[in-house]
Amino acid sequence: MTQKSTLYILTVLISLNVTAQEIKNSVEPSSLITNVELIDGTGTPGRKASIRFSGNKIIEIGELKAKQGEDIINGNGMILAPGFIDSHSHIGGSLEKYPEALADLNQGVTTIVSGQDGYGSYVDSIKAEIARRPIAINIATYTGHTDLREKVLGVNQLNRPATDNEIVAMQAILLSELKKGSLGLSTGLEYAGAYFSSCNEVLELAKTAASEKTRYISHIRSEDIAYADAFEEIINIGRVAKLPVQISHIKLALKDDWGKSSNIIAQLQTARLNGIDITADCYPYELWNSTLKVLFPKTDYTNPVSAQYAVDHTFDPTQSILIRFAPNTNYAGKTISEIANMRKEKPAKTLMGLIAEADDYKKAHPEAEGVETIAAKSMTDTDVINFLAWSNTNICSDGSNGGHPRGYGSFTRVLGNYVRDKKIMSLETAIQKMTSLSAEHVGIKNRGVIAAGYYADFVLFNPVTIKDNANFKDSKALSDGIIKVWVNGVCVYNEKKSTNKFPGTFIGR
């Protein structure tokens, strides 16, 4: 085409009142998803609509006619929602081995937020890893407090609070990470690497996060014996450091107080009324998954009184499963009570014995990772439902690739078990809690809603058949009902299979 004829066509188009966007759209290839019930992530009721997207962005929504040559996807009346955003994920570490990210895609998750519980990777290294090995999903990250402690205090100095000089050194690293796109500061205060930090240390670091208008997210200092103080600590951080604070995987893991989740929610509501932007995420299971050591809040792993306290008050040994145990792989998959029977001991004694054996194993095999993990029954369904339903809770998985079934089934479990079967909330509300609310809680922009200009991350699913299948025997069983998933405009999952496309990107704030 000559320059003159191009100019002529443009003049005609302009005279026909055609916008620049429409000219662009008419030349770039686009795709049209038709015949769907659109639940757009804002919480508003579902509606019939078609969605046009091009490249990695959504162009328009409405009653749209297909264009010549356009790629058309018939949704067959199923539900189209924004790709789910997992605000607390531990999948990141497995992406190098499993870049197709089936753990996430099979439950409709298109974006994960890593760097949780105080541990993660630095922004540059995440970006370099994606460049070296492209991935199917998007990833964002917080900066881990324990990582900062390890770097500045040293791995053998974690059993004390940081000095003023060390706090300043940690602040400098944190600031540099925030400027590179980290979403904020994450802590795992219940874990040994951070438990001995002072409230002041955490508060000063949170102030640095606030100075960059970022956020604070925390696995709080106690989820059982001292949970009331732990909730107070995070509320205080929000109040003094003046930044949004989020409680990671909110739970009530003290048997004596089961059923009292409403009191906690009331405490959080009061804080919100006082101007503190406090929110939470939650996964839909009564069992958590971590190290045996968190059952000893005072880190006195050889104290029989503390072991008996754990058995009596913080977990149920008859329903708690040892997921991994490197010193004796025969124990994996058995409950603590079963293992106690095998050893002809009381469960409290077994608890101490297992920790000692795991520590010895670690000494003999310093390179070994994840020597032991337990899935402990510490919650009740009533409290889980209360926390899931709180209007300031978004859904998360806290999952890894294998181990606890939450890694593969959290989002589909909410949609199947809790929304369709138990009807604890509307489908629109549940999807909002998996998309726009999650994006808002972690500071991700232009995702989590199906609207023009947003990224084309979608999940197409069948609300009648949707169901998690992962369990403790088969933790990687894929969910039913997730039909297709798109990330940045590219279909990455189709009928329980990866399409072997890797359009995932690092999301900075």
Residues that bind Zn ion (CB under 5 A): 117, 219
Closest distance between Zn ion and the C-beta of residue 223, in Å?
9
- Say if residues 387 and 395 touch (Cβ distance below 8 Å): no
| Pick 85 or 136: Cβ nearer Zn ion | 85
The structure tokens listed for 267 are: 């405490």
315-343: b (≥16 Cβ within 10 Å) or e: bbbeebbbbbbbbbeebeeebbbbbbeee
Could you tell me the smallest distance in angstroms from the CB atom of residue 353 to Zn ion? 25
Query: How many whole angstroms separate alpha carbon 276 and alpha carbon 261?
Result: 20
Given its phi and psi angles, is residue 37 left (phi above 0), alpha (psi -120 to 50 degrees) or beta?
beta
Nearer to Zn ion (CB atom), residue 52 or residue 219: 219
Q: How far apart are the first and last CA of the chain?
A: 42
- Looking at beta carbons, which residue is closest to Zn ion? 219
495: Cα within 13 Å, side-chain hemisphere: 1
Nearest by Cα to 377 from 323, 419, 327, 340: 323
Question: What span, in angstroms and rounded, lies between the C-alpha atoms of 218 and 215?
Answer: 10
Q: Please check whether residue 189 is in contact with residue 218, taking contact to mean a CB–CB distance below 8 angstroms.
A: yes
**Pick 288 or 455: Cβ nearer Zn ion:** 288
Q: Are 81 and 466 in contact (CB under 8 A)?
A: no
Beta partners for residue 245, in sequence order: 216, 278
CB of 301 to Zn ion, least distance (A): 19
Q: Which is nearer to Zn ion, 89 or 488 (CB)?
A: 89
Give the residue with the Cβ less far from Zn ion, 216 or 458: 216
Closer Cβ to Zn ion, 82 or 115, answer by number: 115
Comparison of 80 and 264: residue with beta carbon closer to Zn ion: 264
Helix ranges, 365-423 (H): 381-389, 406-413
Nearer to Zn ion, 229 or 360 (CB): 229
- Rounded-to-integer distance, Cα 211 and Cα 199, Å: 18
What minimum distance in Å lies between the beta carbon of 145 and Zn ion?
12
3-state secondary structure of 461: strand
Least Å from the CB of residue 324 to Zn ion: 17
Alpha helices in 181-314 (DSSP H): 192-195, 199-211, 227-241, 261-273, 304-309
* Residue 113 beta carbon to Zn ion: minimum distance, rounded to whole angstroms: 12
Taking the complex as a whole, the smallest distance from the CB of residue 445 to Zn ion amounts, in Å, to 25
* DSSP state letters, 108-169: TEEEEEESGGG----HHHHHHHHHHS--SSEEEEPEEHHHHHHHHT-GGG-SSPPPHHHHHH
Kindly state the smallest distance separating residue 295's Cβ from Zn ion, in Å.
14
Residue 115 near residue 142 (C-beta atoms within 8 A): yes
Q: What's the min distance (Å) between Cβ of 294 and Zn ion?
A: 9
3-state secondary structure 315-334: CCCCCCEEEEECCCHHHCCC
Place of tokens 């995987």: 249
Q: Toward Zn ion, which CB reaches closer, 226 or 451?
A: 226
Q: State the nearest-atom distance from the C-beta of 352 to Zn ion, in Å.
A: 23
Nearer to Zn ion, 219 or 433 (CB): 219
Min separation Cβ 188 and Zn ion, Å:
6
Smaller CB separation from Zn ion, 52 or 406: 406
Residue 488 to residue 83: CA distance in whole angstroms: 10
Phi and psi angles of residue 197, each rounded to the nearest 5 degrees, phi first: -70, 150
Task: Please report how close the Cβ of residue 398 comes to Zn ion at its closest, in angstroms.
Answer: 6
Min CB(39)–Zn ion separation in Å:
29
Q: Of 104, 59, 54, whose CA–CA distance to 84 is shortest?
A: 104
Q: Which is nearer to Zn ion, 50 or 290 (CB)?
A: 290
Q: Are 234 and 278 in contact (CB under 8 A)?
A: yes
Q: Which is nearer to Zn ion, 31 or 116 (CB)?
A: 116
Hey, what are 175's tokens? Answer: 């600031």
